[in-house]
Every structure is written in C-alpha cells, then in structure tokens.
Amino acid sequence: MRLPLALILSLTAAPAMAHEFELLLLAPPEATEATLEQMRAAFLIASHERDSHPDQTSEGHLGGMDVQLTLSRLDEATAARDLAFVVAPLAPHGDAAVAALAAPAGAVVVDSAHLAALPPGMVQGDGTLPPFAERFRAETGQEPGPEALATYLGARAVDLAVRPLDSVDDREALRRALPLP
C-alpha cells in the first residue's frame, strides 16, 4: 500500500512541531553583556534539569517540551506571533511593556510576582540535584547574580505550568497553572 506524500509528511512533521515552544526571556534595559550571559546560563541550567537529551536541537526542555529561547533587553525586544511565554523575571506584575510584547501572540507572561509565589526552596536542589548556585558556579565559574537567580526561577515556573498539561496550546490553562501570591 502506498501512502500519499502529503499524508506521510503530515504524520511525521506534526509531533515535532507540537512538542516545542518559543520563549522570550527579557532582561532589564540596563543589563550588561555579562548579565545577559548569566541569564542565558541560568536558563540553560533550568532547562536541562529534567528532560534534556544529547541530540537535542533546542535550548533545552521545560515541562517535557523543547524550548526555543530568545534573550533580549526589554527595550530592544520585539513581539513575535509564535511566542508561548514571555518571561520577565525582574519586571513588576502587570508591566505594560512586557504585556505589549506578549499580546500579539497571546503569550503567557511570567514576572516577579510569579517568582515570589513559587514554593520555598526551589533553588536548594531536590536531593537528586545540587543547589542552583553550586551548579551555576560549576558551569560558569561565577557566582550567580540576582538576574541569574530570577531567570532560573522564571524557567522553573514555566516548567511547573507546562508539565501537567504537556502542551502550550491552552494559554488560559497555562495562566491558571502559574503560581500567584
């Protein structure tokens, strides 16, 4: 039996596309290059904690899904139609500039209010992983700054929201899954 090429392509392409999402990570406008590097390193640590694999083509995994990361200063960022999350770990809750970047895609915003509501001890390790600061030092040779810590927690908040849903399609369910004070 011969299957039409269009059917074969639709069967093979759909799962890969359905199991990845775009995430915009926002740094404060005054962030230095060193701060941006720390934020990227912290995100990668969080995104490799649970589901990464050797041949991955993404920046890591959150919630069991591949993540494509864009890191930008808030004042240099542009909105994209395919964003699932805008993570602004140092922005106040409801920041208008962050909301404007999320709006075109209906992206879910994770900001400082979500981080404050995370369960205590998230940076302390879980028995199988050493504390975040130890892993950060081992990876970068530096002490994590506040931006790095906030980025790590922002990525963990995304992981906690996505993992039980195994999808980023239902944005309202993702919003409800985020911790809030």
The answer as to whether 1 is a domain residue is no
143 domain-assigned: yes
- Mean pLDDT of the 82-99 span: 96
The pTM of the full predicted model, rounded to 2 decimals, is: 0.85
Domain assignment present for residue 35? The answer is yes
| Total of domains in the chain | 1
Task: Tell me: pLDDT of 4 over 90.
Answer: no
Domain of residue 127: give its range: 20-177
What average pLDDT does range 88-112 have in this prediction? 96
CATH code: domain of residue 68: 3.40.50.2300
Which residues contact residue 89 at a Cβ distance below 8 angstroms, ignoring those fewer than 6 apart? 25, 26, 110, 111, 112, 115, 147, 150, 151, 153, 154
- Look at residue 45 and tell me if it is in a domain: yes
